[in-house]
Amino acid sequence: MFSGRIECLAQSLGDVAASALGPYGSDAWTALPSQVRTQLVASGEGALAEPWPQILASDYRAYVKTGDRARFEALYFARRLKLNHLVLAECVERQGRFLDAIVDGLWLIAEESGWQLPAHNAYGRGGQRLPLPNPADPVIDLFAAETAANIAAILSLLRAPLIAVDPGLCPRLEQEIGQRILAPYLARHFWWMGKGDERMNNWTAWITQNVLLSAFLLPTAQPQRRAVAQKALSSLDAFLKDYAEDGACEEGVVYYRHAALCLHGAMTVLDEASPGLMAPLWQHPKIRNMAEFILHMHVADDYYFNFADAAAVVEPCGAREFLFGKAVGSLPLQDFAAADWRRSASRLMPNEWNLWYRLQAIAAAGEIESWTRDVPAKSDSLYPGIGLAIARDGRYALAVKGGHNGESHNHNDVGSITLYKDGQPLLIDVGVETYTAKTFSPRRYEIWTMQSAYHNLPSFGDVMQRDGEAFAARDFAARFDTEMAEISLDIAGAYPPEAELQAYRRSVRLLRGRHVEIRDEHEGSRPAILSLMTLMEPDVQDGVIRLGELARIHLQGAGPITAEPLDITDARLRQSWPARLYRLLVPLAGPSLTLTIV
């Protein structure tokens, strides 16, 4: 996709400004609305009152010792977030009140032995995680690159006052970025850079974006910039090859922001470096489809369809989505992002540790605030590249996930259904718990949220779906017309031989303006038990499942139904769900089962 553009980039690459707002002392900061200025200064004052988090070797080693990654990451990201608050407040106020604390934060981060997370402290894809980082052999992971980009942005914004503190400070920080990021980036091959047919994921776009920022926000030499750009273009090709033309993100809606939006970020930096370089790509249908994926996954308010490692409740869209829509010429995405921005309490991204994203939000605030177009009505969507179909009417929104069980951030969920009624969750995808070492290990599918038995899927005795690309849907099809939407597939291929399953055909129909119908047809030797995951406590009487005032599920072909409560204590799950969920176990009494949901 980028073929033939490298030479043009090498010839025309120039300096890149730190941000649209300009460096310290720029009139752009004084021109910000008073409300924005007040908010940024207040956040800086709050950060000034908080102590710097102390990070110990034992915090880093906890991942290898116990599998816990949350404690270290809380300290690591709090340190970076505090620094960002201080920087933005100083840029607004320009009185030096925050400068000593900024220097403290920069020095603390420069003194960290490694910028990579403990969970990523390995030298190969899926390799052994080492207990402590080796400063002499740095690993470029997601957050090492993001840390470098943050420091580069700070140097671009505050170089003059930092030089006044100590002329040696900026060279020291530039040296750290060079040794930890730029030198190994050019000298080594990390798996996420792409090689041949090896599948890439969000890491490729995410890290590439931040390496580009690290190189282009600093006064690096032009040969080094061109070398970084050339390698970045190759990696972006490797990233894009694994997307179908429909633009669907197989990693789910949360990782859209680390994948497609970071592709936009990388393309933006390259376009600023070599004006016009990306012009043909912004108009490419595949790039536009990737941009609009988030729009089609939205249900209502903060609810999204959430297969893979995604939460059902996601923070509102904002500047990054708006700017991507603008770049690809998608008015619907701009409309959606602007509407989300207006209802959000986090418009300026106060909890975001990537400083560049916050600068983008501040710079775009005026344009987004003045956007007056209405949000377009939602429609049906089909993503054959990952086997995903979405159907809607005035009351119901449903998604059926086909595909296979070898996707990035996979859950064993081939054939699962997610259903909302009146914007409220009815049949849910639970999502993913807080990440631990187990999450990305061979024991991943011991975690209950990854198992098909805790999705809206059948089990056969105690046999659930198996992970791997070979375990896939068959005969996935979708048909949409004005009266009805119908999605059908056979999910038998997602189960191992011990399920003794010849076929399990599922048909999901939305009869628009009326109801939803799910029909399962089972051919196999072992008894089938369907799991249904719900938010509300079910009341089962006379072949009808009542879910409060929201819905009734009428069943034909079911045996005795049981319901089990699931207590939810994990902090990540609690961002989407209350303290208790429910799993209904519905035995098939014969070869078929029909659920009519009204």
What is the structure's pLDDT at 146?
A: 98
Residue with tokens 């000593």: 100
Does some domain include residue 45? yes
Out of 347, 369, 391, a domain closes at 369
Cα–Cα distance, 588 to 438 (Å, whole number): 34
Report yes or no on 107 lying in a domain.
Answer: yes
- Max distance between CA atoms of the chain, in angstroms, equals 80
Nearest to 342 by CA among 325, 313, 324, 322: 322
Contact 391, 485 (CB under 8 A): yes
- In this prediction, residue 280 carries a pLDDT of 85
What CATH number does residue 499 fall under? 2.70.98.70
pLDDT value for 345: 84
The answer to whether position 62 is within a domain reads: yes
Same domain, 345 and 477: no
Residue ranges for the chain with pLDDT beneath 70: 1-22, 24
Number of domains in the chain: 2
Cβ–Cβ under 8 Å, residues 392 and 378: yes
* Position 153 in a domain: yes
Whether 226 and 106 map to the same domain: the answer is yes
- For the entire predicted model, the pTM comes to 0.95
Residue 389 falls within a domain, yes or no? yes
> Are 396 and 312 contained in the same domain?
no
Q: What is the pLDDT of residue 16?
A: 47
Torsion angle, alpha carbons of 425, 430, 435, 441, to 10: -150
Q: Are residues 237 and 144 in the same domain?
A: yes
Amino acid at 353: W
Residue 391 belongs to what domain range? 381-597
State the pLDDT at residue 279: 87
Give me the CATH number covering residue 245.
1.50.10.100
Q: Are 238 and 293 in contact (CB under 8 A)?
A: no
The residue among 474, 475, 454 whose CA lies nearest residue 412 is 454
Last-in-domain residue among 311, 340, 369 = 369
178: DSSP letter: I
* Residues 25, 113 within the same domain: yes
- Residue 121 amino acid letter: N
Residue 539 lies in a domain: yes
Same domain, yes or no, for 290 and 389? no
Mean pLDDT of the chain: 94
Answer whether residue 376 is part of any domain.
no
Mark whether 400 and 359 lie in a shared domain. no
The beta strand positions in 195-282, using DSSP E, are none
Instruction: Tell me if 589 sits within 8 A of 558, measured CB to CB.
Output: yes
Q: Which amino acid is at 519?
A: R
Tokens of 341: 């921005």
Tell me the C-alpha distance between 130 and 111, whole Å: 19
pLDDT of residue 226: 87
Q: What pLDDT, on a 0 to 100 scale, did the predictor assign at position 286? A: 96
Looking at the structure, tell me whether residues 268 and 399 fall in a common domain.
no
Q: Are the CB atoms for 219 and 250 separated by under 8 Å?
A: no
User: What per-residue confidence (pLDDT) applies to 575?
Assistant: 96
pLDDT value of position 4:
45
Query: Is 375 domain-assigned?
Result: no
| 326 shares a domain with 459 | no
Q: Same domain for 364 and 393?
A: no
pLDDT of residue 18: 39
Residues 522 and 415 in one domain: yes
What DSSP assignment string belongs to 281-350?
HHT-HHHHHHHHHHHHHEEETTEE---SS--SB-PPP-HHHHHHHHHHT-HHHHHHHHHHHHH-S-TT-T
pLDDT at site 14: 56
Domain finish residue from 340, 369, 398: 369
The CA-CA-CA angle for residues 250, 256, 260, to 5°, reads 100
| Same domain, yes or no: 515 and 560 | yes
